[in-house]
Amino acid sequence: MKAKACAVCHGIDGLGKRPDMPNLAGQNELYMAEQLRRYRSGRRAHPEMNVVSEGLSDQDIDDLARYYAAIKITVELPK
């Protein structure tokens, strides 16, 4: 599993490490897999994610999306 390569930006816990890096924890699995395929093909353009996704196989993408989707989060609505 390749989540170590993502952790520097998205955290091993799926929480973004900089304000411009999205949280992935608990994100919808199908959505994430689709976005990773878009970055890989260049249909979704972003300098960092286009490079990162270049080396991912379909299996890697499905595994990574499943991993981040499986992180349990709780939500609290703003008061």
Environment class of 42 (CB within 10 Å of its CB; exposed 0-12, middle 13-18, buried 19+): exposed
Residue of 48, 54, 57, 58 that binds ligand HEC (CB under 6 A): 48
69 contacts ligand HEC (rule: CB under 6 A)? no
Q: What are phi and psi of 26, to 5 degrees?
A: 75, 5
Residue 24 Cβ, how far from ligand HEC at the closest point, in Å? 6
Residue of 14, 26, 40, 64 that binds ligand HEC (CB under 6 A): 64
Would you give the distance in Å from CA 69 to the centre of its chain?
9
20 contacts ligand HEC (rule: CB under 6 A)? yes
